[in-house]
Amino acid sequence: MKNFIKPAIVLTLSMIILISLYTVIVYGLGKVLPNHGEGEQIAVNGKRYYTNIAQQFKSPNYFHPRTSAVNYNAAGSGGSNKGPSNPEYLADVQKRIDSVRQENPEMQNAEVPVDLVTASGSGLDPDISVKGAEYQIKRIAKERNLDKAKVQKLVAENTESGVFGPSKVNVLKLNLALDQIK
């Protein structure tokens, strides 16, 4: 028994020091970086928005983000914990598909992008796929009386190429840019 106590104590103390050191390093780096660990923010008309947290847009003249299992509440992120074989989940997804098709009647025959009808793991994903943004272009152009090509150009300008994944569009940045069009 005595042979196990000393290594257990040494291992415990080593892990406490290692984890504490890691926490201090990450916290210190966060405070030294440009945003001081606060995340990217945009100020518009005196109001500040975090670009890395999904914002809810319901109006038909805005691009809509992914659905959120936590109702876009950044205080507690999380998914629905329902799997793809769960009948309740499948019914929810079908309702979302029907809703997206109803909101975008010009796109009835087009396949609905999966990210427009499924929530992200955190429920706070600020980005949609390029395909998800393109699916909504006709509705936005019609609602705002804009040329479709102008809205397509705006989506292209706000597309971020993916280094470790597919290209994406930040919905908040896109909608703020959309508001800048006269």
pLDDT digits (tens, 9 = 90+) for 126-167: 999 999 999 999 999 999 999 999 999 999 999 998 788 899
Q: What is the pLDDT of residue 20?
A: 96
Question: Which of the 8 DSSP states describes residue 111?
Answer: P
**pLDDT of 107 higher than 80:** yes
Residues of the chain above pLDDT 90, percent: 60
**59-67 mean pLDDT:** 94
Instruction: Calculate mean pLDDT across residues 50-59.
Output: 89
Q: What is the mean pLDDT of the chain?
A: 90
Mean pLDDT of the region 79-84? 82
The rounded distance, in Å, linking the Cα atoms of 137 and 117 is 17
The conformation of residue 114, written as its DSSP 8-state character, comes to G
Give the pairing type, strands 159-160 and 47-50.
Answer: unpaired
**Token digits for 142?**
């019609």
Q: Using CA atoms, how far apart are residues 41 and 26, in angstroms rounded to an integer?
A: 20
Q: Which residues of 67-106 are buried (b: 16+ CB within 10 A; e: fewer)?
A: bbbbebeeeebeebeeeeeeeeeeebbeebeeebeeebee
Question: How many angstroms separate the Cα of 118 from the Cα of each of 7, 26, 87, 93, 182?
Answer: 48, 32, 15, 7, 33
